[in-house]
Structure 1
C-alpha cells in the first residue's frame, strides 16, 4: 500500500495566484450567496418546474 489518495486540497494561495484581489473577493461573494440559497439556487431564473 502507498500513501497516495484521491484527495486534492490545494491552498488558497495556489488557487488565487496571479488573480487580482477584486476578482477573488467577487468570487467569494458569489459563492457565499449561492451557499445561502442552497437547493433553491438550481431554480433561480428558470421557468417553473425546470431545474438546471
Structure 2
C-alpha cells in the first residue's frame, strides 16, 4: 500500500516575515566556542604519555 504525500506547510505574510527576521537575528548572534583551554590540557596529557 502506498503512503500519501503530505503537503508542505507554507508560511505567509506576517508569519513569514517574523521567521525571516528571527533567522537573520540568529545568524548575526552566532557565537564561536573557545576550546583553547581544553586543547592545552589535551596536549599536556599527550606530552606526558609521550605521544606528542
More helix by share: 2
> Aligning the two structures, in what range does the TM-score lie when normalised by the shorter sequence?
0.3 to 0.5
Greater Cα radius of gyration, structure 1 or 2: 2
Q: Give TM-score scaled by structure 1 length.
A: 0.38
